[in-house]
Chains A and B, each alone.
Chain A
Amino acid sequence: MKAGIVVFPGTNRERDMAIALRVVTGREPVMIWHGETDLPDLDLVVLPGGFSYGDYLRCGAMAAHAPIMPAIRRFAEAGGHILGVCNGFQILTEAGLLPGALLRNGALRFLSQDCHLRVERNDTPFTRRWNAGDVFRAPMAHGDGNYIADDATIRELEDSGRIAFRYSRPDGRVDEGDRQTNPNGSVKAIAGVLSANLRICGMMPHPEDLVDPLMGGEDGKPLFEGLVEALVR
């Protein structure tokens, strides 16, 4: 699997993502500068976490208009696979490649803590290593992760099975109103969503930071292993 990581000014989790991809694929991912206008030949494009353009104006708003974005849009239209994590998720929503938006966390504070995610379906390249209903742990580190969309969009996402992950208790129970379980206050406890063709996934927590027992576990590894399985040529 050939993966590329897009680096915007202010991106800061590109190294974490590169480590995770290296661990799982055994290959060095390509770093793609935001000022480029073409993508190399890739199986997976990753938009990593950070504070692109300092989160000024609105998280992800300026990055969504970076020179590289038309190429990413073409890649998506051609059926390419894209993973956006944290700021990458925010950029994908700002670019209209995923529905919804990420608001300031409900408690109005930055949240850096482990959370539990329930896998909602396992027939996607991002989730195939899990079973539906499985729960895994991942660190979250964001100030603006409170997912929101209008009622019709949420209904459409739920009806078409485009919710990839929800914040849950360790036993898999979801409680939207509970701050311990759904720390940033996301509607329907949504932590990650999919595009209609299931090839674009955006999520707030960081599976890339939990791929090594030394750092506290390998809970995030199945996501990358699944992508390798699905996308290997």
Chain B
Amino acid sequence: MSSATGQKPVDEAPVTQDLAREFGLTAEEYGNVLSIMGRTPSLTELGIFSVMWSEHCSYKSSRVWLRTLPTTAPWVIHGPGENAGVVDIGQGLAAIFKMESHNHPSFIEPYQGAATGVGGILRDVFTMGARPVANLNALRFGSPENPQTRRIVDGVVRGIGGYGNCVGVPTVGGEINFHPAYDGNPLVNAMTVGIARQDRIFLSAAAGIGNPVVYVGSKTGRDGIHGATMSSSEFDEDALAKRPTVQVGDPFVEKLLIEACLELMATDAIVAIQDMGAAGLTSSSVEMAGKGGVGIDLDLDAVPQRERGMTAYEMMLSESQERMLIVIHPDRTELARAIFEKWELDFAIIGHLTDTGHIVVRHQGRVEADIPLDPLADQAPLYRRPTAPSPEPAPLGPITDPVGIEQALIRLIGCPDLASRAWVWNQYDSTVGGQTVKRPGAADAAIVKVEGTSLGLALTTDCTPRYCRADARQGGAQAVAEAWRNIVATGARPLAVTDNLNFGSPEKPEVMGQFVAAIEGMGEACRALDFPVVSGNVSLYNETRAPDGSSVSILPTPAIGGLGVLDDVNRAIGLAMPDEGTLVLVGATRGELGQSLWLREIHGREDGAPPAIDLAAERRNGDFVRQQIEGGHILACHDVSDGGILVALAEMAMAGEAGCILSAPQSGMRPEAFWFGEDQSRYVVAVRDAEAFTLAATAAGVETRVLGQVGGDGLTLPSGATISKARLKAVNSAFFPALMDD
């Protein structure tokens, strides 16, 4: 804590251009501050400008590009701009969802970094009136050989579980990759999905001059001060010394806050509500007043405080967790107070709305800040940073198979990116709530029933960063398409996505080039699949310092969180091999091994072009599969992704009771290219009537190929060799326990 370090309190520093630079403002940005204020700002004012204009809060490098993404559809109720995206799922209900990163804190202090990431995204969802019903998380860790990786995996998994399990929201899905590019900068992207009545959705725009502004939740402490600016700059050797800027979460208080807010939301007391996330009291008050076109006066003496002697600067910048700001109807304050007192949470009127158009912050009889809100928002920096195109990936030349099909499969299903995640999932409560229809690993997307209805939600997160590095445009499109495909494979209708765009420093033209290309690719796929972006988050400056002093960017990682709906959740299907049936491949195979896991695991190479993606074929194949599931013709379905067809079959066998007996691969193609190629837009399905299925496919213009029959106790290859299920499972489940020494 700053008061305990013996250093001169930052409070006493005079505001200068040097201090502004320390706070992350450029000379030009500070010049704008001076012209808006017409005077030298106070320290608190400088703090407010610096966090509101940070990359994290202002999206100054990404905004111009984010605007190009499609965000509308007839079923979209609220797109980007609110705390989370809102879509119509039928029966008068809405799904509210968003994904958000907590990357930098999770490197510094993995448990609290991940835990507060979960807490923050939960608040973004319940602040809109939704009861959270599912959590997912997309995680990227460094190389398993890196000695730091184990510490980070352990802390992140414990943190996600520790928070999610306690608040009682099931963690139902997600993804994990390992790659040396994340060695000094893991990615923790947390997604929450909630359900609300469409006529009871709460927004953040403040209204009603004179209306009281209410603070509820935990008390304010000195934790997390300047967290937003920390995540807006590159990491350096001193990163670990920044531990005091990581916030500490209290999931018990969050649980009480959820219940108290939902109880209040059942009344007519609330005008507007927003959680205090990054930049805490500053961003919530500035954004609520700004959106409503009103002014706001705050009296910091009324803020519930955990520590003594906090300054205005510290209170405005604190990122203490589990706090909300509410604009309330004045004649309902006592009703609201009673609800929060029942839940033993702090409740304080800390200000009111004004007609001044300014935010005015008072503390101990002094005006500590007085800033006009319009220019604070309108004149926020906006950069069209230089971009450099990435080099075209050279096509993969001729390549040999040094190990054979059987050995390659064994190596693939045991590798870090494909090994069983059970060790991780088993630390997350996936059943609390009693609505989890498909738990992690049971289907391509998690299925959660909407309590009291026939509806089901299909939820997934997807991204293949190695494709994105080779070709960010293809990779961006592929991430969206894979999320869409995973939802389709359960029988659900894909509705919309949330995106979490994790990239390196935007000040590097090649990183900006990746960012722009990925957004282009995402936009193309979203348009082709009617799968708009309704919420999201950008995390830039994901860089680490190499020993030689150079700065190394992470793989471009535009993680996509997809949501779909089943009108009748009883029709959802999983990926487990059924007891009978014929296995049919849907979609065309050219045998694309560029950037494949086979290439990486067998040859140690990460090169070539990623598999091409034909969005028209994607749509055609997926619409066909979904119709066949709706018609009850498909027993099990699994998309073909990392590792290709044979890995998909092995995963189906391991999840089910039966094995399969495979026919010869497609002629005119090397066997390894057929079995391990990662061609897009494909599914493996098990059907009872293969003839009817393939006829229907032909009529729909969809290519199919019979792969074999369900049967036996393992994977029987065309050579006649059988890999037993026991062996598959033993290899598949070895990695995590070995890494974590458990």
Q: Give residues in A with beta carbon < 8 Å to B.
A: 9-10, 12-13, 15-16, 19-20, 35, 49-51, 53-56, 107, 109-113, 139, 141, 143, 206, 208-209, 212, 214-216
Taking CB atoms, residues of chain A closer than 8 Å to B158 are 109-110
Contact present for B434 and A16 (CB under 8 Å): yes
Contact present for A15 and B433 (CB under 8 Å): yes
Contact present for A110 and B429 (CB under 8 Å): yes
Given A54-B166, A110-B161, decide whether A214 and B569 contact each other with a Cβ distance below 8 A.
Answer: yes
The number of residues on chain B lying at the interface, defined by a beta carbon within 8 Å of a beta carbon of chain A, is 35
Given A10-B255, A19-B434, A215-B436, decide whether A141 and B429 contact each other with a Cβ distance below 8 A.
Answer: yes
Contact present for A20 and B434 (CB under 8 Å): yes
Binary flags per residue of B45-80, CB closer than 8 Å to A gives 1, else 0: 000000000000000000000000000000000000
Q: Give residues in B with beta carbon < 8 Å to A.
A: 158, 161-162, 165-168, 250-253, 255-256, 342-344, 425-437, 439, 449, 451, 569-570, 742
Nearest-Cβ distance from residue B568 to partner chain A, whole angstroms: 11
Taking CB atoms, residues of chain A closer than 8 Å to B435 are 215
Nearest-Cβ distance from residue B738 to partner chain A, whole angstroms: 15
* 30 A-B contacts (beta carbon < 8 Å): A9-B256, A10-B166, A10-B252, A12-B167, A12-B168, A12-B255, A15-B451, A51-B251, A54-B166, A54-B253, A54-B255, A55-B166, A107-B742, A109-B158, A109-B426, A109-B427, A110-B158, A110-B161, A110-B165, A112-B425, A112-B430, A112-B431, A113-B426, A141-B431, A141-B432, A143-B165, A209-B434, A212-B434, A215-B431, A215-B449
In the complex, what distance in Å separates the CA atom of A35 from the CA atom of B436?
31
Taking CB atoms, residues of chain B closer than 8 Å to A216 are 439
Taking CB as reference atom, which chain A residue is nearest B439?
A216
For the complex of A and B, the 3 pairs showing the least CB-CB separation, nearest first, are A12-B168, A54-B252, A16-B434
Taking CB atoms, residues of chain B closer than 8 Å to A208 are 434
Taking CB as reference atom, which chain B residue is nearest A35?
B342
Taking CB atoms, residues of chain B closer than 8 Å to A50 are 168
* 8 further contact pairs, Cβ within 8 A, besides A110-B158, A215-B436: A15-B434, A35-B342, A50-B168, A54-B250, A109-B427, A111-B427, A112-B428, A209-B434
In the complex, what distance in Å separates the CA atom of A94 from the CA atom of B284?
42
Taking CB as reference atom, which chain A residue is nearest B423?
A109
In the complex, what distance in Å separates the CA atom of A13 from the CA atom of B253?
17
Taking CB as reference atom, which chain B residue is nearest A143?
B165
Contact present for B434 and A51 (CB under 8 Å): no
Nearest-Cβ distance from residue A139 to partner chain B, whole angstroms: 5
Contact present for A141 and B165 (CB under 8 Å): yes
Taking CB atoms, residues of chain B closer than 8 Å to A49 are 432
Nearest-Cβ distance from residue A203 to partner chain B, whole angstroms: 15
CB contact between B427 and one of A53, A54, A110, A139 (< 8 Å): that residue: A110
Contact present for B344 and A139 (CB under 8 Å): no
Nearest-Cβ distance from residue B566 to partner chain A, whole angstroms: 11
Taking CB as reference atom, which chain B residue is nearest A52?
B252
Taking CB atoms, residues of chain A closer than 8 Å to B256 are 9-10
Contact present for A206 and B431 (CB under 8 Å): yes
In the complex, what distance in Å separates the CA atom of A107 from the CA atom of B740?
12
Contact present for A139 and B167 (CB under 8 Å): no
Taking CB atoms, residues of chain B closer than 8 Å to A10 are 166, 252, 255-256
Taking CB atoms, residues of chain B closer than 8 Å to A209 are 431-432, 434
